[in-house]
Every structure is written in C-alpha cells, then in structure tokens.
Amino acid sequence: MSTQTKESCPCQSQLPYEKCCGQYHKSGGHAPTAEALMRSRYTAYVMGDAQYLFRTWHANTRPTLQSLKASGPQTLIGLKILSTQAGGENDKKGMVEFISSRFSPSSLMGEIEQHKEKSLFTRVKDHWVYIDAI
C-alpha cells in the first residue's frame, strides 16, 4: 500500500489524501455519504487496499478477501462523478454514477479505457456499504 500523505487524493477531490480518503482507510472510520464511500473505494483500488474494499462491501455481494488481495492495485488514472441520487448523511440508500479511467498497458498503444457504472449503496448499522453495480 502507498504511504501517500500530502499528495492530492487519487479520488481527485483536490484534497490531500490524509484529509480525504486516507481518514477512512487508516482509522477504520466510515464515509458519511455514498459518494464519499465510492471515492474512498476508488482510492482503495488505486492503492491495493483489499481490506478496506472488503470492509465496505455488503456481505451478501462481496467477493472473498483473498480474491480482492489477488487483484492488487489497479492502474486507475481518473474519476468523474456524473450523478448521485440520495446517499446523504440521513439517507438509507444511495446511487452514484461515475466514470473511471485506467491505463491499459496490455493494449498496443497503451490506451486509456473507461468504465461507466451506477453503483448502489446502503447503510448497514449506520455505515455506508457498496452493494453492486446496476
């Protein structure tokens, strides 16, 4: 895992990692909104933080911790939030639509691939968790 401290957070919030996603990754804290959780999960993929991904994935839909560890850090290079529905501090469910970009070194020209997703989130014991993509 990276030891990023004062650099901008990979989720592109323009905040330092420690004041953004790092506060959830390192302290065991919980993201206050579905969007904050989605951003912190994106950053966890960038940093290869399988424990965080596992902890924030709904128990009914998550893969094994071993499979998350095996996938390692991802070569994600961009995140754009397209929309959110609900997912606020007082909501029970939420949806975040986003596009993530990744560098694909296996392509002939080292192309940029984009992944568009609508992610569903819910609260379990007052903590946001990722359910699945729709």
Burial of 91 (0-12, 13-18, 19+ CB in 10 A): middle
The pLDDT, as a whole number, for residue 83 is 98
Sign of CA dihedral 91, 95, 101, 105: positive
Instruction: Report DSSP state, residue 18.
Output: G
| Contacts for 20-29: CB closer than 8 Å, 24+ residues apart | 24/52, 25/49, 25/52
Question: Where are the chain's structural domains?
Answer: 17-133
Residue 3 has pLDDT above 70, yes or no: no
As given in the structure block, the two tokens for residue 26 are 């390192």
| Percent of the chain clearing pLDDT 90 (strictly above) | 78
The pLDDT, as a whole number, for residue 107 is 61
Confidence class for position 6, pLDDT limits 50, 70, 90: low
Nearest alpha carbon to residue 2 among 45, 44, 47? 47
| Other CB atoms within 10 Å distance of the CB of residue 15 | 14
Mean of the per-residue pLDDT values of the chain: 91
The pLDDT, as a whole number, for residue 103 is 82
44, 45, 49, 54 alpha-carbon torsion, rounded to 10°: 90
| Percent of the chain clearing pLDDT 70 (strictly above) | 91
In tens, the pLDDT along 25-76 reads: 988 889 999 999 999 999 999 999 999 999 999 999 999 999 999 988 888 9
In tens, the pLDDT along 73-130 reads: 888 999 999 999 999 999 999 999 999 999 876 666 668 889 999 999 999 999 999 9
- CATH 3.40.50.620: does it fit domain 17-133? no
